[in-house]
Homo-oligomer: A and B are copies of this chain.
Amino acid sequence: MTTPGNLLYAQSGGVTSVINITAAAVIETARRYPETIHKVYAGKDGILGVLNEELIDTSLESPEAIRAIRHTPSGAFGTCRYKLQDPDIQKTEFKRVVDVCERYDIRHVLYNGGGDSADTCLKLAQQLKVRMGNVTVNHIPKTVDNDLAITDCCPGFGSVAKYIATSTREASFDVASMARTSTKVFIIEVMGRHAGWIAAAGGLAADSTNSIPLIILFPEIPFERGRFIQRVSDMERANGYVSIVVSEGVRDENGVFLSDQGTRDAFGHAQLGGVASVVANMVKEDLGLKYHYAIADYLQRSARHIASKTDAEQAYAVGQAGVEYAVSGRSGFMPAIRRLSDEPYEWDIAAAELHKVANQEKMLPRDFISEDGFGITDQARRYLQPLIHGEDYPPYKDGLPQYVRLKNQLVQKQLPANWRDGDWTIWSWPLTKRASCWTSRSVLAAITTAIRCGWFLQTSSGSMAFCRVWNSVRPAIDPDVVG
């Protein structure tokens, strides 16, 4: 290499409580290679910041500020649920990314996200290679869903697992002490629409010294009301109470989400509330037992105050490795966490080829789920336990975790803003595919009208207007646009 170039870092998809540890690792490691990397630019709100030429100059942040984001949840530069257009159908967006990279002398890209962004990453590597030659593009793993291939686990998951296991244990102790005259069934709803990794972590709440009558409802196991109710009833009779961990992704025998029962209230509104309230209702109807339910929602993935130390260390390690791949000229990889032994837990980082990671989903193995489908096996425990090990407390001020915000100063724009002009694409396919996800009839109506008007085939301002509609409604329609 002659003169040093710049590195582009972008976060993608849902955030975690430790993704900023990865961001800090990227910036801190890059600063150790001034002969190769001049500046680290971060996309404001991820890849959208690249498309919109909103690049954050991280060189303006002090080492102290960068160190402080290590203990701050959320995405320090913003992130987005946005999947770039497929370059085989419509090159506009990829072309724009390449334009921006070229203008800002980007020689290294690190894309920090889940399975979908690994795919984007792969395509970006190809496009950039064609136009700019020697650019490295690597992916850094992140997802609370823990569903990336090759890597043993995903940064972000261990902390959610710790939070859910802790919360389930705490609430179960609470309920146990009051069950005689109060709540007999406690339900906690956890994330994981496709895979039951987080639900499985709830199983850690109970162990040999903390017996808790626990039922886990996995998305992998078709829900049967009769069997479930029987189990609740048996456990309640034997123990006086039951705790239930339910994954938001639980489906019935027909593959329909339990939380999407299509029921309407008196005004015709879709019944709101997550799967926890559906399960609670069954318990009440069939057994008449008093219940309470909690919905952890974003609390679980932002709970930096109880992050796993192991998770925090791995989040740093993958960020560091990503920069090292870049510096050594490696491209098309993802630093994967490799488990060397369960006990004592040992791990290292190994380079996984990106094409083996992209668009893969690692499901919870069947042998992690007990035969009856309501619990976890010892195998699952061996896998999960080390991931929640250790505490990584943030500093506190005035009784609250001291989270920080960066200056996030944007570079002066240099490129034309009207880059989408002339853009068009065939929207009908994805629209059809995603129609089943739509929940809001008014949005559906608006888009149907747009399609009927032929906007999706128009170029110039027509498609621009539709693009705006589409881009603003897309995440609302399909929360899994980017994992």
CB-CB under 8 A from A280, the residues of chain B are: 272
Nearest B residue (CB) for A276: B295
Interface 0/1 of A141-168, CB less than 8 Å to B: 0000000000000000000001001110
Q: Is residue A216 contacting chain B, with contact meaning CB distance below 8 A?
A: no
Q: Is residue A401 contacting chain B, with contact meaning CB distance below 8 A?
A: yes
- Taking a contact as CB atoms under 8 Å apart, the answer to whether B401 and A182 are in contact is no
Q: Distance in Å from the Cβ of A45 to the closest Cβ of chain B? A: 5
- Taking a contact as CB atoms under 8 Å apart, the answer to whether B400 and A174 are in contact is no
Residues 247 to 292 of chain A near chain B (Cβ within 8 Å): 263-267, 269, 271-274, 276-278, 280-281, 284-285, 288, 290, 292
- Taking a contact as CB atoms under 8 Å apart, the answer to whether A292 and B298 are in contact is yes
Given A78-B180, A173-B403, check contact A294 B305 (CB 8 Å). Answer: no
Q: How far, in whole Å, are A78 and B240 apart by their CA atoms in the complex? A: 12
Given A265-B271, A292-B297, A399-B390, check contact A174 B475 (CB 8 Å). Answer: no
Nearest B residue (CB) for A390: B399
Most buried by B among A165, A178, A401: A178
- Taking a contact as CB atoms under 8 Å apart, the answer to whether A295 and B298 are in contact is no
Q: Number of A interface residues at 8 Å Cβ cutoff, please give it.
A: 98
- Taking a contact as CB atoms under 8 Å apart, the answer to whether B401 and A170 are in contact is yes
Q: How far, in whole Å, are A403 and B177 apart by their CA atoms in the complex? A: 13
Looking at A203-211, A321-329, A367-375, the stretch in contact with chain B turns out to be A203-211
Most buried by B among A72, A205, A207, A405: A405
- Taking a contact as CB atoms under 8 Å apart, the answer to whether A181 and B400 are in contact is no
- Taking a contact as CB atoms under 8 Å apart, the answer to whether B281 and A174 are in contact is no
Q: Is residue A48 contacting chain B, with contact meaning CB distance below 8 A?
A: yes
Q: Is residue A197 contacting chain B, with contact meaning CB distance below 8 A?
A: no
CB-CB under 8 A from A296, the residues of chain B are: 294, 299
- Taking a contact as CB atoms under 8 Å apart, the answer to whether B273 and A277 are in contact is yes
Nearest B residue (CB) for A278: B272
Q: Distance in Å from the Cβ of A140 to the closest Cβ of chain B? A: 17
Q: How far, in whole Å, are A305 and B164 apart by their CA atoms in the complex? A: 12
Q: Is residue A354 contacting chain B, with contact meaning CB distance below 8 A?
A: no
Q: Distance in Å from the Cβ of A118 to the closest Cβ of chain B? A: 19
Q: Is residue A444 contacting chain B, with contact meaning CB distance below 8 A?
A: no
Q: Is residue A8 contacting chain B, with contact meaning CB distance below 8 A?
A: no
Q: Is residue A463 contacting chain B, with contact meaning CB distance below 8 A?
A: no
Q: Is residue A74 contacting chain B, with contact meaning CB distance below 8 A?
A: yes
B177, B292, B294: the one contacting A78 at CB < 8 Å is: B177
CB-CB under 8 A from A45, the residues of chain B are: 180-181
Q: Is residue A308 contacting chain B, with contact meaning CB distance below 8 A?
A: yes
Q: Is residue A379 contacting chain B, with contact meaning CB distance below 8 A?
A: no
CB-CB under 8 A from A162, the residues of chain B are: 399-400
Q: How far, in whole Å, are A388 and B305 apart by their CA atoms in the complex? A: 14
Q: Is residue A125 contacting chain B, with contact meaning CB distance below 8 A?
A: no
Q: Is residue A476 contacting chain B, with contact meaning CB distance below 8 A?
A: yes
Q: Distance in Å from the Cβ of A314 to the closest Cβ of chain B? A: 14
CB-CB under 8 A from A82, the residues of chain B are: 181
CB-CB under 8 A from A295, the residues of chain B are: 276, 293-295, 297
Interface 0/1 of A98-140, CB less than 8 Å to B: 0000000000000000000000000000000000000000000
Give 6 CB contacts A-B under 8 Å.
A78-B178, A80-B182, A170-B302, A182-B475, A385-B398, A386-B399
Q: Which are the 5 A-B pairs with shortest beta-carbon distances?
A: A273-B273, A388-B399, A294-B297, A75-B177, A74-B173
- Besides A175-B298, A181-B475, A276-B295, 14 more A-B contacts (Cβ < 8 Å) are A15-B178, A48-B180, A73-B170, A165-B399, A169-B403, A170-B302, A170-B304, A174-B302, A186-B298, A272-B281, A290-B476, A294-B295, A294-B298, A389-B398
